[in-house]
Amino acid sequence: MLSNLNWSELLAVSCSALLDAMWATAVILQVPTEKEDTMSTAATRMDENTRKLYVAFELGEKEWRLAMSPSLAVRPTLRALRSRATARVLEVLESECQRVGAVQVVSCYEAGRDGFWLDRFLHAHGIDNRIVDSASIEVRRRARRVKTDRLDAQKLLTMLHREALGEKDLWSVVHVPAVADEDARSLQREYRTLVKERSRSSNRIKGLLASQGVVAPRIDAQFLPWLAAARLWDGSAIPSGMRARVEREFARWRFTRDQVLALEKERRDRTKDETDRSLEKVRALFALKGIGLGAAWTWGLEFFTWRDFRNGKEVGALSGLAPTPYQSGDSSHELGISRAGNRWVRGLAIEIAWGWLRHQPDSALTHWYNERFARGGPRARKVGIVALARKLLVALWRYVETGVLPEGAVLKA
């Protein structure tokens, strides 16, 4: 029979038989069983009960932009609101939840000048919010990339959906301190700001005098009498306009100095007050030889008090003293420390590490540094001091948590 058919007829018969078989299979697959229908209904009902609205905030000084959608498949709804109009934000979220049938809101925004108050406000109203580290958000690496508040909000919303779908290590979420822990950091931060302002005024005074060929021996309480007696290269007095400017700058220096002294006194008094339980770790650090009160306050309140570290790797990573290896193909080298996290903690760690070698000569950390780096050149010693700073931070974290002194370390007499 096949011999009586030509090739075109044979091909037509084969294709017809194949299509009939595919159609029969499709019909069979389309008929649901009772068990599958029940499971599908239950899954739909569960999805309706847990339906969420995902919201990304793009915070500006005058305007906030909100991007909202229940899933990646749904085009986001965009809203522009006046900044800090919290009542209006709740109205918009409630209206959008009713429109899409959501029962829970999940939101995010970039860490920035607005701080933590918005996160606390959202959580107080039952919204699951997270603050995202700006440096961990994906961006295109083109030389010129389009950037608008609308695109930023949509990008945040997309990444929030991806996190909800289970993608790990997508971005870095900021740990929000309690109100009391955040407030406790104010004194030391203000102190650092005032010290910088005092140095700025002092340098400005010295610069103004240097423009006239005059060098001030020092800036202190005896500066004004010295300024009145100062003379230029030809024996003449400093011009009246320049002298008045220097005197006004000195008045700012003196005002800032008085504030610095007042904060130093308050800091000493609070450290001596044993009833203040929030400074226990500060006192423990200050008791170690080689650690001053400023370092104890910075490390105690900025780093160790309100953060829950699980291991030494987290301590090193948050201080920015973690290594950053680079490997691509045959290329493999080290980029140096990550420099992430709190720069004040990292800077103090390196500064205290140099002092640790002098004030704690019998400690195990000092012996480790001397054996590996002390005999090397300047670069080797600098690399070693950064490694010592990381080890020292980890050792101090264990000390304030467990009370066990770093090996070989001694307390102040």
Judged by DSSP in three states, 331 sits in strand
pLDDT in tens, the chain (413 residues): 444 445 444 444 444 544 454 444 433 334 444 444 433 443 343 354 469 999 999 999 999 999 999 999 999 999 999 999 999 999 999 999 999 999 999 999 999 999 999 999 999 999 999 999 998 998 888 878 888 999 999 999 999 999 999 999 899 999 999 999 999 999 999 999 999 999 999 999 999 999 999 998 889 989 999 999 999 999 999 999 999 999 999 999 999 999 999 999 999 999 998 777 779 999 999 999 999 999 999 999 989 988 889 999 999 999 999 888 898 888 898 888 888 888 899 999 999 999 999 999 999 999 999 999 988 899 999 999 999 999 999 999 999 999 999 999 999 98
DSSP states of 187-247: HHHHHHHHHHHHHHHHHHHHHHHHTTT---S--STTHHHHHHH-B-TTSPBPPHHHHHHHH
Pairing relation of β-strands 63-69 and 52-59?
antiparallel
- Tell me the three-class secondary structure of 306-328, residue by residue: CCCCCCHHHHHHHCCCCEEEEEE
Q: Is the dihedral of CA 140, 141, 146, 152 positive or negative?
A: positive
| CA distances from residue 215 to 212, 229, 232, 357, 370 in whole angstroms, order as listed | 9, 13, 10, 36, 42
- pLDDT at position 217 is 86
pTM of the predicted structure, to 2 decimals: 0.80
Strand, helix or coil for residue 57: strand
- pLDDT tens digits, 244-265: 999 999 999 999 999 999 999 9
Q: Which amino acid is residue 35, in one-letter code?
A: K
Give the end-to-end CA distance of the chain in Å, rounded to a whole number.
111
Helix then strand then coil, % of the chain, to nearest 5: 55, 10, 30
